[in-house]
Amino acid sequence: MTALATATLPSKDLLSLEELSTEHIHLIFDVARQLKAGRDAYTNLLAGKRLAMIFEKDSLRTRFTFDIGMTDMGGTAVFLDHRDARIGSRESVKDVARNLERWVDVIVARTYKQKALEELAANCAIPVINGLSDDSHPCQALTDYFTLTEKFGDLAGKKLCYVGDGNNTCHSLMIAGAKLGVHVSVCTPEGYEPSAQVLEDARRFAAASGGSVVVTSDPAVALADADAVYTDVWASMGQEDEIEERAGIFHDYQVDEEMMELAAPDAYFLHCLPAHRGAEVSAAVMDGPASIVYDNAENRLHVQKAILVLLLGAWS
């Protein structure tokens, strides 16, 4: 249970995890657990509420789960596909924000620049949720740790090892893990480490929670005793030109059965998806007994429903 007096989040928006306290993360988990257990009891929670989704990049999970989440709770969602035109290219980000707030109650945006999210949020009175940016993927990391709490209970003292590119997903896993008292180890090839600022922030949060954050290029060090092993694509959306070059550089960082052997026995395997079997993960691991990737994909729905009801003040 949460120690918070009110069922709200600290800011009108959810743009990054730095702004959430450990108690807020637990609040999201508590609400997600209840929504998951009792879907039929919450079909009117967001009756009449409208969500706008504006995405500069492709999506399967984020788009479907936010849309279905709104529908499950009596609301509606409208999707605007900006794949070929960045938000702000036809009219200013400010005007997009000022129009949308007249029609809808909440926005989920998937952008290249984190700054575009911040500008959107600064120019409207309604909540803006980060549905992934180049810098971070907060809804994903919250879901990842929610899924792990379903497996382990309290995560304080557990170890999560992220192998691969020090990207948006990695950043959010570092921040959320550090706030939850998790020992997060990140294993990347040299030159592909997570941002120094994120590492500094994560270490500060870990110092307060009893967790830790380590970055190394040595899989044996990173994976030792890991309770969960995580990977993501080697080239993120927007880095398509680097796919071939990165395939060579990341070659030794594929999560395969041999790598899983370096982790704790019975360690779980997670991936935010989409996955590339034979690249960042072997088919044997992706489809093997350790993999909880589809449990995790399902949980995007429940965790994001919790974020929606908390930001919209619909939970008491």
Per CB under 6 A, 237 contacts ligand NVA: yes
Would you say 59 or 147 has its CB closer to ligand CP? 59
Q: Cα 90 to chain center, whole Å?
A: 29
236 phi/psi in degrees, rounded to 5? -80, 170
Q: Tell me the residue type at 53.
A: M
CA 149 to CA 160: how far, in whole Å? 12
Partner from ligand CP, ligand NVA, none binding residue 232, C-beta < 5-8 Å depending on class: ligand NVA
Contact partner, 233, from ligand CP, ligand NVA, none, Cβ < 5-8 Å per class = ligand NVA
Coil, helix or strand at residue 201:
helix
By CB under 6 A, is residue 299 in contact with ligand NVA?
no
Partner whose binding site includes residue 179, from ligand CP, ligand NVA, none (CB under 5 to 8 Å by kind): none
Site string for ligand CP, 120-139 (x = CB under 6 A): ------------x-------
- Quick check: 272 binds ligand NVA (CB under 6 A)? yes
φ, ψ for residue 128, nearest 5 deg: -120, 130
Q: State the catalytic residue, choosing from 144, 272, 302, 304.
A: 272
Q: Check residue 167 for interaction with ligand CP (CB under 6 A).
A: no
Minimum separation from the CB atom of position 84 to ligand CP (A): 17
Q: Counting contacts by CB under 6 A, is residue 15 touching ligand NVA?
A: no
Site for ligand CP (CB under 6 A): which residue of 61, 158, 159, 183? 61
The least CB distance from residue 105 to ligand NVA, in Å, is 25
Examine the residue annotation and report whether 110 is marked as an active-site residue of this protein.
yes
Q: Is 41 helix (H, G, I), strand (E, B) or coil?
A: helix
Q: Per DSSP, which regions of the chain are E strands?
A: 50-55, 76-81, 106-110, 128-130, 159-163, 183-187, 212-216, 228-231, 268-271
How many chain residues interact with ligand CP (CB under 6 A)? 8
Annotate each residue in 105-144 with x if it binds ligand NVA (CB under 6 A) or - if it does not, as one string: ---------------------------x------------
Using an 8 Å Cβ cutoff, are 35 and 42 in contact? Answer: yes
Beta-bridged to residue 184, according to DSSP, are 160, 213
Strands ordered across the beta sheet of 159-163: 212-216, 183-187, 159-163, 228-231, 268-271
**Residues 139-178 contacting ligand NVA, CB under 6 A:** 167-169
| CA distances (Å), origin 141, targets 174, 208, 268, 270 | 9, 19, 15, 11
Does 233 contact ligand NVA by CB under 6 A?
A: yes
Candidate ranges 1-9, 54-62, 157-165, 281-289; the one touching ligand CP (CB under 6 A): 54-62
Nearest distance, CB of residue 132 and ligand CP, angstroms? 6
Phi, psi of 211 (to 5 degrees): -85, -170
φ, ψ of residue 110 in degrees (nearest 5): -115, 115
Return the half-sphere exposure (C-beta side, CA atoms, 13 A cut-off) of residue 91.
8
Toward ligand NVA, which CB reaches closer, 235 or 262?
235
Of 137, 171, 271, 302, the active-site residue reads 137
Is residue 62 within the footprint of ligand CP (CB under 6 A)?
Answer: yes
Contact predicate 267/231, CB 8 Å: no
Contacts with ligand CP, residue ranges (CB under 6 A)? 59-62, 132, 140, 272-273
> Interface with ligand NVA by CB under 6 A: which residues?
132, 167-169, 232-233, 236-237, 272
Active site residues: 110, 137, 140, 232, 272, 300
